[in-house]
Amino acid sequence: MKKVFIGTIVGSIIYFAYLSIMWTSGLHNNFTSYSGRQYQIMPFLSQNLSYDGLYMMPYPDPAAADKRKEHEKIRNENVDKPWAMVFYHSHMQSMEAGHILMGLFYTLIACLIASFVLYYTGFKSYWIRFGIAMAFALFTLSQGVLDNMTWWSFPWSFVKMKVLDLTLGWGICSLWLAWYVKKPLAII
């Protein structure tokens, strides 16, 4: 178990450091698009959106009696017309310690799960352990990031930074986990 916990802590530091470098150095700054009319749009959004959340437009009223038919009607009538997804927040928060700690906590959970799997499967080959660790990133890519790109048309500029983080960043972490997190050889 010592290998699991040390592997988790070091792996978390590796991956979190990678993410911190990518975001603070500005290498991920182009993940969104820019609107020169943002200061005209923001007051309009503030006046017309009632709470923080993700808004899709056009979209049927959730209180509509036959929401399903309304959704189908909107979908059919708006083919080849503009649509939007807006992440709206009524106030911007500064980057606080709580955000950083939660990011580190999520990284710890991911590394802990990968470490448990690597340790208790007992694979002897380094490259098999590396492949197993990378499978977590590939699963996340295919069932999260790329799935959102397919179904919700997330733009490549938004998706590519996650692809890079999960392949390169988690790849570096996986190199460590595959090397360190393994059961000791049984002495006969």
Question: How does residue 62 score in pLDDT terms, banded at 50, 70 and 90?
Answer: confident
| Residue 188 in this model has a pLDDT that exceeds 60 | no
Eight-state DSSP code of residue 79: T
CB-CB neighbours of 16 under 10 Å: 20
For residues 95-112, average pLDDT: 91
| Residue 169 in this model has a pLDDT that exceeds 90 | yes
pLDDT at 42: 93
Question: How does residue 187 score in pLDDT terms, banded at 50, 70 and 90?
Answer: low
CB-CB neighbours of 106 under 10 Å: 12
The structure tokens 């580190």 sit at 104
Q: Is the model's pTM score more than 0.75?
A: yes
Element (H, E) at 87: strand 84-88
For the chain, helix, strand, coil in percent to 5 are: 65, 5, 30
